[in-house]
Chain A
Amino acid sequence: MAMVKERSPKDFAIDAFLYVVLTGLALACVLPFIHVVAVSLSSRPAVDAQQVGLWPVGFNLDNYEKLIGNLQFLRSFAISVLRVVVGVIVSLVLVVLTAYPLSKDHIRMPGRTAYKICLLIGLLFSGGLIPTFLALRSLGMIDTFWVLIAPVALQIFFVIVMLNFFRGVPRELEEAAAIDGASDFQILLKVYLPLSKPALATVSLFVAVMHWNSWFDGAVFINDSTRWPLQTYLYSQVVTNPGSMIDATQFQNLTPQGQVASLIVVAAVPILMLYPFLQRYFTTGMVVGSVKE
């Protein structure tokens, strides 16, 4: 609030207090992660003696070298990358194809309201874990890659977001294109999609993060550990059997903490790289969803 200029000592004290508290909160959010990075880069004696704070002690890359030689890690990493790419494409196509026809309020469409209600039911009501598991099993999808994609392919929440976004596009643009003889698909591709880039970027980013971060589906629907995505593998390392990766002795700096730490770092880095974009769009995402004509 730049408009208030005169500052009393009391104002100064309040400001100082706010700066201290806010700095403390911000640090509390990142320091635990920095510690994990430091552990992943520290030597075994330092980790065992718990000497590592926020800076590596006895810097070495043994944990990461070991990780790169770990076949299961490489496989799960590749599966995670693949599920993000495939998952985002599938979800984008489904969201656009569903939202676009539903957004045409001025064109009569039999069953539009009924279909919207079906979507709403799909969004708000699920049979629960066990019925979902059995349904996927009867569809023969357990232990396949597609079990990570199909159940979350139709992002109904983002259908609503897109629907509201499409509604906000001026109808004159569409009418002009229609007069020029464009088909419905052409209007969608040439008029709507170019205008929807921010909304499409929002959907892509959020679906990408969701896919990268998902681990529970892998843990429940995939028994074969060679087909797990990275986060499910990480879960098994964090919770089920910490340190089972350590077998060979050619790396003298391996510790269970260091191995898990390096895995955590590798799993978090893609999110860190996407973070600037996420930050740019998360407010858009929330605002887009609430914009109404």
Chain B
Amino acid sequence: MLIPSVIVLILFHFYPLWGVSLAFVDYNKFRGLGGSDFVGFEVFAEVFGSAHTWQLIRNTVMIAVGQIVVGQVAALLFALMLYEVASRKFRRVVQTLATFPHFLSWVIVGGVLIQMLQTTGYLNDFIESIGLPRIGFLSSPEIFPWTIILSDVWKGFGFASVLYLAALMRVNPELYEAAAVDGAGRLARLRHITLPGIAPIVVLLACLSMGSVLNAGMEQILVLYNPLVYETGDIIDTWVYRKGILESQYSVATAVGLFKALVGFTLIMVSYWAAARFAKYNIW
């Protein structure tokens, strides 16, 4: 029974790993990978000697950390607000609407956002109509990272809140009844019952999110960025795509990609370790 998956695993997951050796050769397109000259860590030295690479890493981490922190806080707040609302029907409608964008591709969402956020878009029309200058959401290097962070949060907070809500629903209702009898107010119940009740899932998600510190959302940025904002908006993945696929500079692109894969792998391992240590989580 395992044979089909072994074949797929080898061909499409392990065979490509062989290609990371590109990072250690001076790739010659006519002689292929096997015929290219081995240069050791020269490509790495070249890549990491360049300030531009560090700029990419900085952009990636800034955007990803922003997405994680703002996204998780927004999801938690949203879940808590929904939970505080008594009407079940209202809760369901709001959740249904807020979760929807998560399931659409970044091409669709990007198409929608570009119409809204470009300098001539309707959000800027509105901003101008109340007497403020137009904002370069997609064209100003200072603002673009925030556009990316906030649009990612906008697309994902509803879905991210599902886990928090599920945890909230498991808080023992008898605790609230007991607290009400003791005269605890709304805020007291929130502080002493609700928050401690969902603390484990908050800790778990915080641990696991460490694994995605280098994932700033390639598809999102590819759809929304342009050369005007490369300075702050270009991330490792988008750069690798342009260098490697569009410009066919395989060796440098592979070296940067390999760096990302290795650091990413380490981060995931650390995050699993932390999750197991602090939240008793085990994926197998």
Contacts and interface: CB of A to CB of B under 8 A. Distances in A.
Contacts of A128: 20, 240, 254, 257-258, 260-261
Contacts, number: 233
Given A50-B122, A98-B2, A154-B12, A267 B105 contact: yes
A28 B154 contact: yes
User: Per DSSP, are chain B's interface residues mostly helix, strand or loop, or mixed?
Assistant: helix
Interface stretch (A30-38, A67-75, A81-89): A30-38
Contact of A97 (B5, B90, B244): B5
| Max chain A C-beta neighbours (<10 A), residue from B111, B162, B283 | B111
B30 interface: no
Given A22-B81, A216-B219, A132 B86 contact: no
Interface stretch (A112-120, A170-178, A194-202): A112-120
B105 A132 contact: no
Interface string B190-224: 00000000000000000000000000001100110
Contacts of A191: none
Contact of A1 (B111, B176, B268): B176
Contact of A129 (B96, B253, B265): B253
B9 to A, nearest CB: 6
User: Per DSSP, are chain A's interface residues mostly helix, strand or loop, or mixed?
Assistant: helix
A134 B97 contact: no
Contact of A124 (B103, B163, B244, B268): B268
Contacts of A272: 100
B16 A2 contact: no
B228 interface: no
B177 A286 contact: no
B2 A101 contact: yes
Interface residues of A, number: 87
B105 A213 contact: yes
Given A18-B84, A25-B94, A153-B8, A133 B22 contact: no
A9 B207 CA distance: 40
B141 interface: no
Interface stretch (B42-50, B57-65, B113-121): B113-121
Interface string B101-133: 101110110111111100000100100000000
A150 B99 contact: no
A30 B97 CA distance: 7
Interface in A21-76: 21-23, 25-30, 32-33, 35-36, 39, 50
B111 A115 contact: no
Contacts of B154: 28-29
B12 A129 contact: no
B163 A286 contact: yes
| Max chain B C-beta neighbours (<10 A), residue from A4, A29, A30 | A29
A129 B240 contact: yes
B69 interface: no
A288 interface: no
Those 5 A-B pairs whose CB atoms lie nearest each other, nearest first:
A131-B19, A128-B257, A213-B105, A122-B13, A135-B16
6 contacts: A15-B85, A22-B94, A125-B261, A151-B12, A216-B222, A220-B241
Given A1-B86, A119-B9, A215-B107, 20 more contacts: A1-B173, A15-B86, A18-B81, A29-B100, A97-B1, A98-B4, A100-B1, A122-B13, A127-B261, A128-B260, A130-B244, A132-B16, A135-B18, A154-B5, A154-B8, A159-B5, A209-B103, A238-B223, A267-B105, A286-B162
